[in-house]
Amino acid sequence: MNTKTGLILILIALNILAVIVGISIGPAKISVKDIFSVLSGNENISEAKTVKDIIFQIRLPRTILAMLVGSSLAVAGCSMQALFRNPLADPYIIGVSSGASVGAATVFLLGIATGINIMAGAFLTAVLTALVVYRIGVVRGRAPVYTLLLAGVAMASFLSGVTSFLIYMAGEDMSKVIFWIMGGFWTASWDKVKIAVLPMIFSLTFVLLNSWNLNAILLGEEHAMSVGIDVEKFKRRIIVSSALLTSSAVAVSGVIGFVGLIIPHMMRIISGADHRILLPASLLFGSAFMPFVDVIARNVIEGELPVGIITAMLGAPFFLYLLRRGRM
């Protein structure tokens, strides 16, 4: 068994552990034995119905949603770092998170803040932001990465100002908007899983199938064209896929930072820069990482911390460590 296969197997085992930990740890402790008894259909456990309800209606959809969000942000971040050839790129680099925040804040301000309306508003404005940034970045039929980067930074700054204005106007709903922007899985449900899973799976599949093309474009657009890649068409498709991944994640969980920036770097240290192994490794580690962070967020204090706070507290020191070690 080679090193790459071993890494993938370890990450798969880590995902299985993440599911078990995500289901078992919480205000009501559930033993591993009870988890396997319920999942195998064995009813011979104490308080079987209560345990089943906790597992299937609360913790399992929450864990699955966290895994989907983690894998989506990790893969989107990895693909953006390759496309922009910039180690500081992350899923939010083209302003998607700022656009989603505007949509969510607008829904709160209008007084129609149901779960589905918040998701719809955040998703639509996030996708619209990505499209606008791309159109702004197109120069003479081409979209140079530096113009896309600058357009994304400018749009994110502008939309952050709009979000701040909407939060100010929200009045008593201000705290709700801020809490949503911090990110978390406290409203996870099977409905959110069903809404997010299709665009995420579609986009993840496309990016994974184009891992070799990302290797080529990482070496420069001239190199990519020399090996037969239609660079402009490929950039559009990668941006659309990454925007779908990020907007779907933000719509169901709020803005969770650093995951799409740090996870690819961690896997790059272990697996190398070949996206044929880096992308699946980032996907698997991102899907395992997020449930563990969610467990910390809901158990570290009485009540629950937003997941975005935990990822920032974990991600920023690791990011500084990478800078000091010269691995960026």
End-to-end CA distance of the chain: give it in Å, rounded: 30
CB 42, CB 33: distance < 8 Å = no
Binning pLDDT at 50, 70 and 90, where does residue 322 land? confident
Binning pLDDT at 50, 70 and 90, where does residue 44 land? low
Q: What percent of the chain has pLDDT over 70?
A: 96
Task: Give the three-state DSSP class for 142.
Answer: strand
CB 260, CB 79: distance < 8 Å = no
Residue 279 burial by Cβ neighbours in a 10 Å radius (0-12, 13-18, 19+): buried
CB 99, CB 125: distance < 8 Å = yes
Domain count, the chain: 1
- For residues 222-237, give the mean pLDDT: 92
- For residues 121-127, give the mean pLDDT: 93
Q: Is the pLDDT of residue 100 over 90?
A: yes
Q: Is the pLDDT of residue 172 over 80?
A: no
- What's residue 323's pLDDT? 76
Q: What is the CATH number of the domain that holds 42?
A: 1.10.3470.10
Q: Quick: pLDDT tens for 148-161.
A: 989 999 999 999 99
CB 295, CB 67: distance < 8 Å = no
Which has the minimum average pLDDT: 4-13, 41-50, 79-88, 308-317? Answer: 41-50
Binning pLDDT at 50, 70 and 90, where does residue 18 land? very high
Binning pLDDT at 50, 70 and 90, where does residue 176 land? confident
- What's residue 42's pLDDT? 67
Number of Cβ within 10 Å of residue 250's Cβ equals 32
Binning pLDDT at 50, 70 and 90, where does residue 325 land? confident
- What's residue 32's pLDDT? 85
Please list the residues that pair with 139 across neighbouring strands.
Answer: 142
- What's residue 288's pLDDT? 97
pTM of structure: 0.92
- What's residue 139's pLDDT? 85
Mean per-residue pLDDT of the chain:
89
Report the C-alpha dihedral over residues 104, 107, 113, 114, rounded to 10 degrees: -80
- What's residue 326's pLDDT? 62
Q: Is the pLDDT of residue 328 over 70?
A: no
Q: Is the pLDDT of residue 46 over 60?
A: no
Tokens 């296969």 belong to 5
- For residues 265-292, give the mean pLDDT: 94
Q: Quick: pLDDT tens for 199-225.
A: 999 999 999 999 999 999 998 889 899
CB 238, CB 224: distance < 8 Å = no
- What's residue 292's pLDDT? 96
**Domain around 83:** 3-325
- For residues 131-136, give the mean pLDDT: 93
